[in-house]
Structure 1
């Protein structure tokens, strides 16, 4: 059996895999990118129909290509984002092979590199980059009811309101996905219950600047560690309908029923925590803290940006907040479906190397794994707060590619020395490290 060999194998051709290919190519590192579907397929089929990017196109892109058909302040549709990455891969001539599913990766014994089993044969690689991203296995928590009368789907499988049966909907999870889906369902005429947990709630824009700009100039995208205890707090922000600030109270005044964190299901009744008001208050505090930081930045730098006092106006608490619903009989309320916007878990069962901690999470430093020769790109907080965003992935990939190129140069130095030793009648000359591998 013929075994294909490659220096660096990248698994996944979404935004992380395309970014890795660009940087590896620029550094002259031979590589191959494997993708089991199409390029950026998750953007096409792992999202609901009306989804747009949560950042404007001037921000949510790679440096080497613009969305030339969109206004810089517009929010690209999911299909347009997928088209963008396909075009980008073509522009950089990325060596991407689609329709290849990686089944198993193991370290070779007694020799360098890894053996990679795929549905198209075996590949041996000196290095493996895991670029499969954070959205691998949808999580539906074990508290989910088992009733056959309820349609239950994860937000990854939601497409549009017409997909759901007649009746009310309970949306569990109020990050960007949950709140956008809940609002779409309400606008389609559905009675919606939205379970709101802890969240950050930045303004969509403030004083004529998008929140992506504010997080940039304030240095918040570059935060290297999350605030302790808030590592997994979701962000409620929306680019839908041209972009707007998420305001849970306004949604409630428009007809949505807010409830606290979903606690349990028993005999057709769902119970909720008493934390709704607290979660909303903490979201408000996060919102106001960004406004305060933005105002201070404007004064400090003498910027001429229009004041926006109405941004601090808060609508009154709706009845569902002042008198929170702690239990809901699903049948009596006419709830016929539940959408679980409860996030994702990683799935690395195919990566059988010593790169994970006792909880199964990757052990790495800025994407460089504890297992030599294995790398990760595209994960939240890989190096900074912005790591899982499009522009953040590109910069993280640049760092990882640089590490790979440096390691390859070390190996070249070893091989060159060996070749000098093998020359008849000659001794190997002394080679300065800086000349051999460059300034590190």
Structure 2
């Protein structure tokens, strides 16, 4: 049987895979992009109905294609984002094959490259780029037992308030997903409890500039002067409802019962950490630090941006933050559903090569893995904090494509 061969095989046709294809084409590298579903499938079906991009249209895109039908300062809805990447793939003539799942990748014996086993047969590739992104397998702690009589879903499977059973809802997670879902449910008339932990809470915008702009001009995408962040800290910023600063005090005044970190569960009672006030204050500190740095930047560079003194005002604590509850009897509270907005974990079980640390995490430097010929793209902090964002993955892909081009030159070298 003849086995198809290619130079580079890209696994995944989301934002990372499409960006990778563009740069490989620019480098003249023969390649194939395999996608088990459709282009940008996560945007289509693996998010809730009201989801929008986390940045405005002028920023959350690739450099070579603008949104012709979305105002630059608007946060594009999820379906428009899916169409954007589909249009981009068409524009660059990306060699995408949809409906093809990669089952395994193994190194060839006695020759360069890898045998890639797919749902459509085998392909032999000299290089493989894992461009499956950071949102692979839903992850949430097994705190509340399945037989507790409460429906539990991950935020991946949440669509809209009408999907929920009658009764109150507990949302666990203080990042963009948890905040958006909790507010949407509350505005629909639901009783909502929101359990949060440590979080980073920047302003959505300040002095007539979106936060993504401040990230750029203040060097925060690159984090050169930034203190190392704690891992697993929720990033509380959102484009929901036109883009607003996430404010847990505002949610509390809206009627959401904001609580501390979910620690345990016994006989129908949820145990909560006594950390809510400390985490709210730390979120304030991060928020005010951005305002201070922004003001210093404006003054230092003589930029004419309108002052925004009201942004410095911190709202009074609602009762749920002034006197946080440490236990929640779920039955008495009427909680019928728990939504775990607690993120995702990686699944690279199909990548059967020596490219991982002992803990199973990818072993790489800027996406170039410990296994020669294997690359990772779209992971959080691959290069910097932008790496898992639309803006960042395009530039990371360019770096990896350049490395592939250099390696091809080494292989092609012949001494006279």
Is this a same-fold pair by TM over 0.5?
yes
- Confirm or deny that 1:38 pairs with 2:28: no
Runs of 4+ with >6 A deviation = none
How far apart are 1:143 and its partner, in Å? 1.4
Q: Which residue in 2 is equivalent to 1:432?
A: none
- Partners of 1:250 and 1:232 lie apart in 2 by 24
- Partners of 1:107 and 1:83 lie apart in 2 by 35
- Partners of 2:159 and 2:347 lie apart in 1 by 23
Alignment of 1:83-102 (within 5 A): 83-102=83-102
Q: TM-score, normalised by structure 2?
A: 0.98
CA contact (8 A) 2:367 2:376 kept: yes
- Partners of 2:146 and 2:227 lie apart in 1 by 36
- Confirm or deny that 1:115 pairs with 2:109: no
CA contact (8 A) 2:168 2:192 kept: yes
Q: Which residue in 1 is equivalent to 2:2?
A: 2
Q: Which residue in 2 is equivalent to 1:359?
A: 359
How far apart are 1:331 and its partner, in Å? 0.5
- Structure exhibiting the larger radius of gyration computed from Cα positions: 1
How far apart are 1:229 and its partner, in Å? 5.3
CA contact (8 A) 2:148 2:268 kept: no
Q: Which residue in 1 is equivalent to 2:407?
A: 407
**CA spacing shift, 1:225–1:20, aligned 2, 3 Å:** farther
CA contact (8 A) 2:201 2:286 kept: yes
CA contact (8 A) 1:224 1:381 kept: no
Q: Which residue in 2 is equivalent to 1:368?
A: 368
CA contact (8 A) 1:224 1:384 kept: no
Q: Which residue in 2 is equivalent to 1:191?
A: 191
Q: TM-score, normalised by structure 1?
A: 0.93
How far apart are 1:109 and its partner, in Å? 1.3
Q: Which residue in 2 is equivalent to 1:62?
A: 62
**SS of residue in 2 equivalent to 1:117:** strand
- Partners of 2:12 and 2:345 lie apart in 1 by 16
How far apart are 1:148 and its partner, in Å? 4.9
Alignment of 1:25-424 (within 5 A): 25-223=25-223, 227-228=227-228, 230-414=230-414, 417=415
- Partners of 1:8 and 1:250 lie apart in 2 by 50
Deviation by residue 1:85-135 (Cα, 9 ceiling, x = unmatched): 000000000000000000000011111000000010000000000000000
CA contact (8 A) 2:140 2:340 kept: yes
Deviation by residue 1:32-57 (Cα, 9 ceiling, x = unmatched): 00000000000111100000001001
How far apart are 1:232 and its partner, in Å? 2.1
**CA spacing shift, 1:99–1:190, aligned 2, 3 Å:** same
- Partners of 2:2 and 2:199 lie apart in 1 by 52
Deviation by residue 1:128-183 (Cα, 9 ceiling, x = unmatched): 00000000010021213223521100000100001110000100001000100100
**CA spacing shift, 1:229–1:143, aligned 2, 3 Å:** farther
Q: Which runs of 5+ in 2 are unaligned?
A: none
- Partners of 1:114 and 1:149 lie apart in 2 by 48
- Partners of 2:3 and 2:224 lie apart in 1 by 41
How far apart are 1:344 and its partner, in Å? 0.4
**SS of residue in 1 equivalent to 2:296:** helix
Q: Which moved more, 1:148-157 or 1:293-302?
A: 148-157
- Partners of 1:225 and 1:307 lie apart in 2 by 25
Deviation by residue 1:264-319 (Cα, 9 ceiling, x = unmatched): 01111101000000110010001000000000000000011111110011111111
- Partners of 2:229 and 2:23 lie apart in 1 by 34
How far apart are 1:413 and its partner, in Å? 1.0
- Partners of 2:209 and 2:5 lie apart in 1 by 49
**CA spacing shift, 1:175–1:225, aligned 2, 3 Å:** farther
- Partners of 2:363 and 2:59 lie apart in 1 by 29
CA contact (8 A) 1:7 1:127 kept: yes
- Partners of 2:262 and 2:351 lie apart in 1 by 34
**SS of residue in 1 equivalent to 2:122:** strand
- Partners of 2:231 and 2:224 lie apart in 1 by 12
**SS of residue in 1 equivalent to 2:116:** strand
CA contact (8 A) 2:47 2:157 kept: yes
Q: Which residue in 2 is equivalent to 1:435?
A: none
**CA spacing shift, 1:143–1:234, aligned 2, 3 Å:** same
Aligned residues: 416
- Partners of 1:106 and 1:143 lie apart in 2 by 37
**CA spacing shift, 1:229–1:300, aligned 2, 3 Å:** closer
How far apart are 1:228 and its partner, in Å? 3.7
- Partners of 1:386 and 1:159 lie apart in 2 by 27
How far apart are 1:224 and its partner, in Å? 5.9
- Partners of 2:50 and 2:318 lie apart in 1 by 28
Q: Which residue in 2 is equivalent to 1:422?
A: none
